[in-house]
Structure 1
Amino acid sequence: MNSINRISTGLQGADTVIDFLRLGDNVVWQVDSLEAYAFVANRFVCQAVNDNRRLIYIHFGDHPRLVDESALRGAGADFQIYTLNAGVGFESFTSAVYRIITFEGRQAFYVFDCLSELQKYWCSDLMTGNFFQVTCPYLFELDTVAYFALYRNAHAQDTVARIREVTQVLLNLYTIDRQYYLHPLKVWERYSPVMFLPHLLTESTAECITDSASTAELFSTLQIQTKKLDYWDILFEEAKPYLDAPLSEQAPTKDTLLNLLVGKESRITSLCREYFTLKDLIEIEAREIGTGYIGGKSIGMLLARKILETRTPHICKGYLEMHDSYYIGSDVFYTYIVQNGCWHLRMEQKKKDKYFSAAPKLQERLMAGNFPTTIKEQIMLMLEYFGQSPIIIRSSSLQEDNFGNAFAGKYESVFCPNQGTPEERYSAFMEAVRKVYASTMNREALEYRQNRGLAQKDEQMALLVQRVSGDYHGSYFFPHCAGVGNSSNLFVWDKNTDSSKGMLRLVFGMGTRAVDRVNTDYPRIITLDKPERPPLLAYGDERKFSQHYVDVINLEENKFQTISLEEAAELPLKTNIRLFLEPDHELARQFRETGQRGRKIPDIINFSRLLRHTDFAKVMEDILTILSAVYDYPVDIEFTCNFKDKERYRINLLQCRPLQTRGLGKTIKFPERLDKSHYYFASAGNFMGGNVRLPVQYIVFVKIKPYLELNESQKYAIANQIGVLNHILKNKHAILVGPGRWGTTTPSLGVPVRFTDLCNMDAICEVSYDSLGLMPELSYGSHFFQDIVESNIFYAALFQKDAKVHFNEDKILTKENVLENLLENSKEEVIYSDVIHVADLGDDGGEIYSDIVEQKLICTDKHL
């Protein structure tokens, strides 16, 4: 090799032993003390200065700088010192280092503080290894030379092995009797017969220790690496002796573990500190795979259960199903990204100009990754624990289920029927994990984060692995009923409803049909002040607007499946099926009147007996009331319910999160003596968003007849054009009015927009056209509802058959259609002005008035 490629360490003896350094070398020193690392680092710095090299010092440790800045300046060195805060977290810190390396470019020389210092901030060997596996290859790619250090015996063997795998040079430096001994462990593409023996370093040489007696004597004085625990594990082991200590002595340790599992100070953290004990935190960590935060969804579920256990022990003992969930820590998500070579793509996607464009490729890579062996082994143990019980892998990101950011439905949750051999079950589990990880790059999730100013914040994805709640019913597995509950019910249709009692959105079978706007199906909406209050339906419509299909897990076919109500009703349910279903009495009457007395009367899902003959509704009301009171905030929960016989049942609390609502607000004074000719629309009830007086400048109206004449692809084009208008009309007081359901996945039932296509609207309105089969859905409690509530969008449903509803379509259409004017600078190839009518209400505009107590809503011309 030419001498120009030989780079000195600044220690002649070391240069002799390892045959100098090369461009691209990452050099990791295992040392006993910071002083030992400072010794070799400063020799390297002095040599680099003498060789006129560009020198970079990355300082992040909680100690004085290793490099003397004044000496460097005095020597006229070309250098830069970057002081970084590792406490901001792995992603932010690593990204900052990545940007520095990119900026400094090729053939720069680096000194990093000791990597072991990162444990003080991240408490995880896993993340220390991830940082090095990300940084080392990038430095190598740019032909740099970089110094790192590790404190000997301070890291798990697996971490050292991962660092050894990617570094070019790994050296042990021992300090014995004030003398330094060099023992190379890895020197890439260099070799000599004595290179990997210990050497005594002097000022000018390195004395190789070759005889067995001297070597044995030397190494016998050293501590052998026997440490196998991650730094994380040690912290939790050291916490266990405090379990029997007084609470005051437990507090500092408890706070440390709380910060590791839950995160830094927030309203949720404060609640966790109040309700979780030290024992709780140790037990949570015992069920964690990997390290890091357990994420918002896991915290919400655990905290809600702990609140009920503390405040209402009778509910826990008598009604609550136990859980035995596992948590895959947020550090594992980063490990997955690093292990599968996705970090560079992640850095690209973080750039503002590539936020959306780089996401599909990163998503594709995330769908093809695997876990390292150590994580795989832990997952296999978990799967052995669950056996062949169905499980669900749920997203539990750091930003999820928190105050103000629910991320409802933005990330995947994947059911695993969990049948087959251990290898088959692991393969299916990994596929589910990949789907959840890849969902962080879903367009809707990216837009959600961007709209809430979260695009550049770390979004670490932990996972919640839960045993699916339910039982075997023939070849199917499902709970008897499931749903969502809200402690505040702002969507009411009867002025006598007590909205503070909350509501449920209940389905038979798996809860998926409760959290989504499901085609052709309607969950049962239950107001908890009067659970038996009938739904808001015209006489004879109960069957039409009820649940017709049931979601189940097919154990024989090892898949999630939807079956008909008729098939589900024939299954052995192990309880009284009449708690959930009863004969359709209205249809029976029709059969009698038409002389069809012999016909079989089909069932209808209405939960009437469940609500009349059990205390289920009262228990759910109590649960919501307690949780809301402790949160000091409305809450949203997901749950299942399973019966053992006619009366005994268990509720499984799957999820709890804060639910943003406007509340009642101040009473709004309505305009006096208005003629209906002034109304664009009016209704008694069927709205959501509190007491409001909203200005209206634009009404975006989708006309029913020309919409239904479109083919399916054209209907999706209408949805896309609504999305363009949503962007153009941001902050311009626009409302959206259309037929049937906004956000449906079936274009024949409404306009199939995504929520991000209407998120800038001040209000949305769903209009019924009964004769054409288009009806709004009172979707309070669904993911669509969560988005509306979080975004402070006012919602109204106009049932035109209701005598108290007035919809003046002609008044909207008499206004000039300004659609073409709004879209003139857009890239829309076709402008659907015959379907979409955008009415500009002129200089005065219009207003929406609503009053919850009076259940009154109008949208009218503006009256000052």
Structure 2
Amino acid sequence: MDSITKASTGMKSLDEVVDYLRLGDNVVWQVDAINDYKYFVNLFVKNAITANRRVVYMRFAQHDSLIEEAAGEVTIYQLDACRGFESFSTQVYDIVSREGKEVFYVFDCLSDLLTAWANDLMIGNFFMITCPYLYELDTIAYFTLLRNKHSFQTVARIRETTQLLMDLYNCEGRYYVHPLKVWDRYSPTMFLPHALEGDLLSPITSSVDAARLFTIMPNICMENERRNLDYWDKLFLNAIEVYKVMLEGKETAAEEGKVIEQLCKLIIGRDHRILSLAKKYLSLKDLLDIKARLIGSGYIGGKAVGMLIARSILLKDNDFHWNDYLEPHDSYYIGSDVFYSYIVQNGWWKLRMQQRSSEGYFQVASDLKEKMHKGSFPAAVKEQFQQMLEYFGQSPIIVRSSSLLEDAFGNAFAGKYESIFCVNQGTPAERYQQFEDAVRKVYASTMNEDALAYRLQRRLDKRDEQMAILVQRVSGAHHNQYFFPDLAGVGVSYNTYVWKEDLDPHAGMLRLVHGLGTRAVDRVEGDYPRIVALDKPLLRPHAGLDDLRKYSQHEVDVLNTASNQLEVVSLNEMDYENRRDLMALIGVRDYEANKRMKELGIKGPDLWTLTFDNLMTTTAFPQIMRRMLKTIKSAYQYPVDIEFAINFSKDQGPNINLLQCRPLQTKGLKSRVLIPYDIQEERILFKSKGHFMGGNISQSLKRIVYVDPEKYSILNLSEKYEIARIVGRLNKQIHDRKNLPTMLAGPGRWGTSNPSLGVPVAFSEINHMAVMVEISFSSAGLIPELSFGTHFFQDLVETDIFYTALFPEKNNVFFNHGFINRQQNIFNQLCPDKLQFEGIIKVYDFTDRDLVLMSDVLSQEVVCFLEEK
């Protein structure tokens, strides 16, 4: 025997049957009992130790140890499969990488993973990624499966991937070994069952003996029908039976509770607070309804869970008839396991493991992202996609990210992943292709740089982050070739932006738009949603007729069914002749503009300004939304953030489609900060009244990164983008925000997509800052956008970044240019290769002095000043 390429099973006669083991072999045993397998495992291990082989035991199951005492000669790794498929698989991958080549492995029974994952599919995926890597490293590995515990499909995938597949039976006290697959070798009797007598395996060659053997082998012909089912499906079939018995009044509440808890752990998630809400508010019927609309298996993700729990909370509110106002939903869910299967079956798992490393975290992500735009789906998944699209017909739908960590307590991932509108027009084949492309885009968005930076900063980079998908029917109606809802927006139960002393932050706030809600959740250049403080809905952050026009919505996001795409349409290009009842609620005719049009001989529909005032005063809308937020917040026992769409029908109130709900990260009022009233002007950098977010604070600052508004405004386009990249570079140099709290100040809007309106940084380029200041420089059109409630501002709150907007041209705002000019600029020390920008980006150090930022919500004052020595 060539000892370099061959090895022994520890039983000479078994070696002869399979022509020995070869380096690279994965050996899978199908057994009825773990103890039967232990006998052959220990023969293998003892022989390997005798041959001075390194033996590693992967221990993760509930059954007794497979390996007898080996005096410390076996390396044992204790693994936790309950942490999830990716964490478990990554841990195995990392161990195998460290152990290196020609190691001999024993794995606990793979069937035990069903307890942790409840899914045959993921066991098959685990084997498909682990087996080839072990083969690549010239190892030999023993695995086992319990017979009839897995679907035919799972066993088939394992059979296809492994090098050896062995059936082991214990019949009437005698072992029988039946090789089903032995890769790359053959003998005339190799694939016959072999009876073990003492140490000798003898092939059963007689037809009489073979027939007699197979008639007495336990379970070999039993449960074939059930074995076709995945373990996952068996659990839900059992849940259906419990539900039927419950309808007959025979099942106890305790039994129903056990099944609800089991199903919640399968499809809702692992977060104990979310699980607690789900078990309290989701019924067994609710969970079975989710399963009926679930494509694939696994979790439905945070976005879907939040939406379902919030709806159920409202419908269980016996003090209000929410059924009169809530628009029904008929969403579908693509389970999180489809995401991993997509990666595994397209052969990208090794790339995924490289991306999980510190060195490849960002670098490998771009390659993986590109590949994920082009992968293929299994036939079974494609068929379910097709059936779902046939259900929706040509109704517009939206394909929304719903990852495991998304919309959780403390981690909103707001705007980090993609949501794709499918206008859903064209032939069935065209609509199917559009949908598949949308799913790929959502999957690929897990590798977005902002999403990766967010996970890294919040120490989630090692956590499982499977991407489930929520597919929702777009709320709205057809208006000629356009499809859109009457209203849409976001709501927060705690108003982090109270711009007047007498506003109650606990009353909540809305950010309201006409048309699709994309304008409510994103910062849109030159357009402004209606900000509604629910305790004073007519109060605005701005005053005056000119401000009313300027700070209002001028464009509408719609789905164009003729062009089959999302479009932005000017409000005044829309024909509202047949929607005068709606416009009377949300707008007022712009009489001055209409008069000018007539004087100029311009014909067209009337021009409107959206105020939403009549909606606030003539309907119960603000009271309904305030109650909705309060009811959900009370159930969560935590502030919440919702997204919604609203449609009006004749003789009825608003039909509210609750699209999303998540815990809202907020900064509370805390104790009041008493701002000194006698600060000398030369020590003040700035002071302002209102326009800040971050609660009451007294923050010491050690550095300022300042982009000069006037000098920035005259840069060309490429130079403005270069400024953004340099800011990102300075941001990365802040290794510890606590030891180097830094204020970022600059013109217009941070994070804009239009460099003429501000510095176009990504959030990952400013996420280490402690304070962010937007400074108005109106002569160049660089004006802050007070877009509270957007994904951008959710990021600021979650990352604990204090925000203020400064309008130096206003009477109650002071910005001290002399203070800035007196400080020493250390930019050249931090970016010596970018000296051409030294006069535009200025960095000031205050490590030897005390620069302090103070804000007080009650008085609405904010001031930044240098303390006296």
TM-score range for the pair, normalised by the shorter chain length: over 0.9
Residue 231 of structure 1 aligns with an amino acid whose one-letter code is: Y
Residue 320 of structure 2 aligns to a residue in which SS?
helix
Q: Give 2:793's aligned residue.
A: 785
Cα drift, residue 289 of structure 1: 2.1
Equivalence map 1:237-248=2 (5 Å): 237-243=237-243, 244=246, 245-248=251-254
Q: Give 1:137's aligned residue.
A: 132
CA distance in 2, matches of 1:421, 1:138: 43
Residue 383 of structure 1 aligns to a residue in which SS?
helix
Query: More displaced, 814-823 or 495-504?
Result: 814-823
- Say whether the 8 Å CA contact 1:503–1:525 is kept in structure 2: yes
Aligned counterpart for 1:90 among listed residues 81, 85, 89: 85
- Say whether the 8 Å CA contact 2:336–2:468 is kept in structure 1: yes
Residue 479 of structure 2 aligns with an amino acid whose one-letter code is: H
CA distance in 2, matches of 1:104, 1:110: 10
The answer on 1:398 being equivalent to 2:404 is yes
CA distance in 1, matches of 2:343, 2:334: 14
Aligned counterpart for 1:560 among listed residues 550, 560, 566: 566
Query: More displaced, 12-21 or 409-418?
Result: 12-21
CA distance in 2, matches of 1:430, 1:83: 40
Residue 384 of structure 1 aligns with an amino acid whose one-letter code is: E
Equivalence map 1:237-276=2 (5 Å): 237-243=237-243, 244=246, 245-276=251-282
Residue 60 of structure 1 aligns with an amino acid whose one-letter code is: F
Q: Give 1:754's aligned residue.
A: 762
CA distance in 1, matches of 2:350, 2:760: 35
Aligned counterpart for 1:764 among listed residues 754, 757, 772: 772
- Say whether the 8 Å CA contact 1:574–1:644 is kept in structure 2: no
Distance 1:37 1:282, change over 3 A: same
Distance 1:174 1:677, change over 3 A: same
Equivalence map 1:650-689=2 (5 Å): 650-674=655-679, 676-689=681-694
Q: Give 1:426's aligned residue.
A: 432
- Say whether the 8 Å CA contact 1:12–1:203 is kept in structure 2: no
CA distance in 1, matches of 2:156, 2:605: 70
CA distance in 2, matches of 1:537, 1:718: 34
Query: More displaced, 676-685 or 296-305?
Result: 676-685
Cα drift, residue 809 of structure 1: 2.6
Residue 574 of structure 2 aligns with an amino acid whose one-letter code is: A
- Say whether the 8 Å CA contact 1:474–1:572 is kept in structure 2: no
Residue 510 of structure 1 aligns to a residue in which SS?
coil
Equivalence map 1:592-611=2 (5 Å): 601-611=606-616
Q: Give 1:236's aligned residue.
A: 236
- TM-score normalised to structure 2 length: 0.93
Q: Give 1:283's aligned residue.
A: 289
Q: Give 1:454's aligned residue.
A: 460
Distance 1:253 1:574, change over 3 A: farther
CA distance in 1, matches of 2:208, 2:579: 77
Cα drift, residue 180 of structure 1: 2.3
- Say whether the 8 Å CA contact 1:490–1:688 is kept in structure 2: yes
Distance 1:597 1:418, change over 3 A: closer
Q: Sequence identity, in percent?
A: 50
Cα drift, residue 312 of structure 1: 5.1
Aligned counterpart for 2:856 among listed residues 842, 851, 854: 851
Q: Give 1:614's aligned residue.
A: 619
CA distance in 2, matches of 1:463, 1:450: 22
Cα drift, residue 597 of structure 1: 11
Residue 549 of structure 2 aligns to a residue in which SS?
coil
Cα drift, residue 801 of structure 1: 4.0
Distance 1:194 1:694, change over 3 A: same
Distance 1:161 1:469, change over 3 A: same
- Say whether the 8 Å CA contact 1:473–1:573 is kept in structure 2: no
Residue 68 of structure 1 aligns with an amino acid whose one-letter code is: E
Residue 794 of structure 1 aligns with an amino acid whose one-letter code is: F
Cα drift, residue 265 of structure 1: 4.9
Q: Give 1:173's aligned residue.
A: 168
- Say whether the 8 Å CA contact 2:556–2:571 is kept in structure 1: yes
Equivalence map 1:440-839=2 (5 Å): 440-570=446-576, 576-585=582-591, 587=593, 601-645=606-650, 647-674=652-679, 676-729=681-734, 730-731=737-738, 732-824=740-832, 828-839=833-844
Distance 1:591 1:5, change over 3 A: closer
Residue 87 of structure 1 aligns with an amino acid whose one-letter code is: C
CA distance in 2, matches of 1:421, 1:171: 49
- Say whether the 8 Å CA contact 2:104–2:140 is kept in structure 1: yes
Distance 1:83 1:788, change over 3 A: closer
- Structure 1 residue ranges without an equivalent (≥5): none
Cα drift, residue 496 of structure 1: 2.7
Q: Give 1:223's aligned residue.
A: 220
Q: Give 1:408's aligned residue.
A: 414
- Say whether the 8 Å CA contact 2:576–2:583 is kept in structure 1: no
Residue 501 of structure 1 aligns with an amino acid whose one-letter code is: A
- Say whether the 8 Å CA contact 2:852–2:866 is kept in structure 1: yes
* 1:803-853 deviation digits (Å, cap 9, x = unpaired): 2222223332232323223434xxx43451221233445744332222212
Query: More displaced, 702-711 or 776-785?
Result: 702-711
- Structure 2 residue ranges without an equivalent (≥5): none
Residue 546 of structure 2 aligns to a residue in which SS?
coil
- Say whether the 8 Å CA contact 2:542–2:548 is kept in structure 1: no
Report the count of equivalent residues: 855
* 1:169-209 deviation digits (Å, cap 9, x = unpaired): 11222222122223332222223444333333334544434
CA distance in 2, matches of 1:640, 1:807: 41
* 1:747-767 deviation digits (Å, cap 9, x = unpaired): 111111122222222222222
CA distance in 2, matches of 1:557, 1:621: 38
Q: What is the CA RMSD across the aligned residues, in angstroms? A: 2.6
CA distance in 2, matches of 1:853, 1:642: 37
Distance 1:471 1:599, change over 3 A: closer
CA distance in 1, matches of 2:627, 2:767: 33
Query: More displaced, 165-174 or 553-562?
Result: 553-562
Q: Give 1:182's aligned residue.
A: 177
Residue 178 of structure 1 aligns with an amino acid whose one-letter code is: G
Query: More displaced, 303-312 or 561-570?
Result: 561-570
Q: Give 2:98's aligned residue.
A: 103
- Say whether the 8 Å CA contact 2:828–2:834 is kept in structure 1: no
Aligned counterpart for 1:293 among listed residues 296, 299, 305: 299
Residue 791 of structure 2 aligns with an amino acid whose one-letter code is: H
* 1:252-300 deviation digits (Å, cap 9, x = unpaired): 3322222222233522222222222333223323322222222211111
Aligned counterpart for 1:195 among listed residues 185, 190, 199: 190
Query: More displaced, 498-507 or 414-423?
Result: 414-423
Aligned counterpart for 1:332 among listed residues 330, 333, 338: 338
CA distance in 1, matches of 2:82, 2:600: 78
Q: Give 2:29's aligned residue.
A: 29
Residue 21 of structure 2 aligns to a residue in which SS?
coil
- Say whether the 8 Å CA contact 1:716–1:752 is kept in structure 2: yes
CA distance in 2, matches of 1:380, 1:178: 52
Cα drift, residue 164 of structure 1: 1.1
Q: Give 1:384's aligned residue.
A: 390
CA distance in 1, matches of 2:212, 2:355: 54
Cα drift, residue 676 of structure 1: 4.5
Residue 92 of structure 1 aligns with an amino acid whose one-letter code is: S
Query: More displaced, 212-221 or 181-190?
Result: 212-221
Distance 1:211 1:715, change over 3 A: same
Cα drift, residue 439 of structure 1: 1.2
Cα drift, residue 65 of structure 1: 1.4
Query: More displaced, 12-21 or 486-495?
Result: 12-21
* 1:116-164 deviation digits (Å, cap 9, x = unpaired): 1111121111111111011100111122221111111100111111111
CA distance in 2, matches of 1:575, 1:599: 19
CA distance in 1, matches of 2:150, 2:847: 69
Aligned counterpart for 1:358 among listed residues 350, 360, 364: 364
CA distance in 2, matches of 1:393, 1:26: 40
